[in-house]
A and B are shown apart, each in its own frame.
Chain A
Amino acid sequence: MSEPKRLHPAAIIFNFIKGIREFIFVLIFGFITFRDQSFGYFILIVLLLALIIVAYSVISWYRYTYRVEEEELRIEYGIFIRKKRYISKNRIQSIDLTQGVIHRIFKLAKVQIETAGSGNGSEASLKAVKFTEAQTLRDELKNEDTQATELDPETEAETTNHPFYKISFKRLFVAGSTSGSIGVIFVLALGALEFERFIPDRFFDNAMSWVIGLSIMLIVGFALALLLFLWLLGIAGTMIKYGNFTITKYKDELFITRGLLEKKQITIPLGRIQAVGIQESVIRQPLGFVTVFAEVAGGSLDQGEDFSTVLFPIMKRDEVEEFLQEILPDYAEQPQDFNPLPKRALTFYLFRTMVPIILLGIAVMFLLPQFSWVIIILLIGGLYLGFLRYRAGGYYLKENRLMVRYRVLSKTTMLMYHKRIQAFEKTQHKIQKAKKLATLKLSIIGKLGTGKHYTIKELDEADLDQLSDWYSYRK
Chain B
Amino acid sequence: MRQPPVNRIARDAIKAWKITAAIYISVLWLATIGVAIITYNYTVSYWFISIAVLISALSTYLFVFLLPKIRWRRWRYEVFEQEIYIQHGILIVSRTLVPMIRVQHVDTQQGPILRKFGLASVTISTAATTHEIPALLEEDASDLRDSISALARVDEDDV
Q: Is the CB of A465 within 8 A of B128?
A: no
Q: A116-B159, A465-B1 are contacts. A425–B128 as well, Cβ < 8 Å? A: no
CA distance A443 to B94 in the complex (A): 14
CA distance A427 to B131 in the complex (A): 15
Q: A443-B126, A474-B80 are contacts. A425–B159 as well, Cβ < 8 Å? A: no
Q: Mark B118-159 against chain A: 1 for CB-CB distance below 8 A, else 0.
A: 000000001111010000000000000000000000010101
CA distance A67 to B111 in the complex (A): 48
Q: Is the CB of A426 within 8 A of B95?
A: yes
Q: Is the CB of B92 within 8 A of A450?
A: no
The stretch that binds A, out of B33-41, B57-65, B97-105, is: B97-105
Most chain A C-beta atoms within 10 Å of own C-beta, residue among B89, B96, B128, B157: B128
Q: Does A451 contact B (CB under 8 A)?
A: yes
Contacting residue for A425 out of B83, B96, B155, B157, CB 8 A: B96
Residues of A within 8 A of B95 (CB): 425-427
Q: Does A314 contact B (CB under 8 A)?
A: no
Specify the chain B residue showing the minimal Cβ separation from A298: B159
Q: Does B50 contact A (CB under 8 A)?
A: no
Q: Chain A interface mostly helix, strand, loop or mixed?
A: mixed
Q: Classify chain B's interface size.
A: 20 to 34
Residues of B within 8 A of A433 (CB): 93
CA distance A298 to B2 in the complex (A): 34
Q: Is the CB of A423 within 8 A of B94?
A: no
CA distance A430 to B99 in the complex (A): 27
- Within A21-68, the residues touching B (CB, 8 Å) are none
Residues of A within 8 A of B159 (CB): 116, 271-272, 274, 297-298, 445
With contacts defined as CB atoms under 8 Å apart, how many contacts are there between chain A and chain B in the complex?
Answer: 87
Specify the chain A residue showing the minimal Cβ separation from B92: A429
Residues of B within 8 A of A446 (CB): 128
Residues of A within 8 A of B92 (CB): 427-429
Interface size on A, residues (CB 8 A): 35
- Within A396-443, the residues touching B (CB, 8 Å) are 419, 422-430, 433, 441, 443
Q: Does A285 contact B (CB under 8 A)?
A: no
Contacting residue for A427 out of B80, B93, B101, B126, CB 8 A: B93
Q: Does A7 contact B (CB under 8 A)?
A: no
CA distance A297 to B92 in the complex (A): 30
Q: A443-B126, A451-B128, A465-B1 are contacts. A429–B96 as well, Cβ < 8 Å? A: no
Q: Mark A275-306 against chain B: 1 for CB-CB distance below 8 A, else 0.
A: 00000000000000000000001100000000
Most chain B C-beta atoms within 10 Å of own C-beta, residue among A425, A444, A446, A469: A425
Q: Is the CB of A428 within 8 A of B96?
A: no
Q: Does A143 contact B (CB under 8 A)?
A: no
Q: Is the CB of B94 within 8 A of A427?
A: yes
Q: Does A159 contact B (CB under 8 A)?
A: no
A residues with CB within 8 A of B: 116, 271-272, 274, 297-298, 419, 422-430, 433, 441, 443-446, 449-453, 464-465, 468-469, 471-474
Could you list some 8 contacts between A and B, CB below 8 A? A271-B157, A297-B159, A422-B102, A423-B126, A430-B91, A441-B94, A453-B128, A453-B129
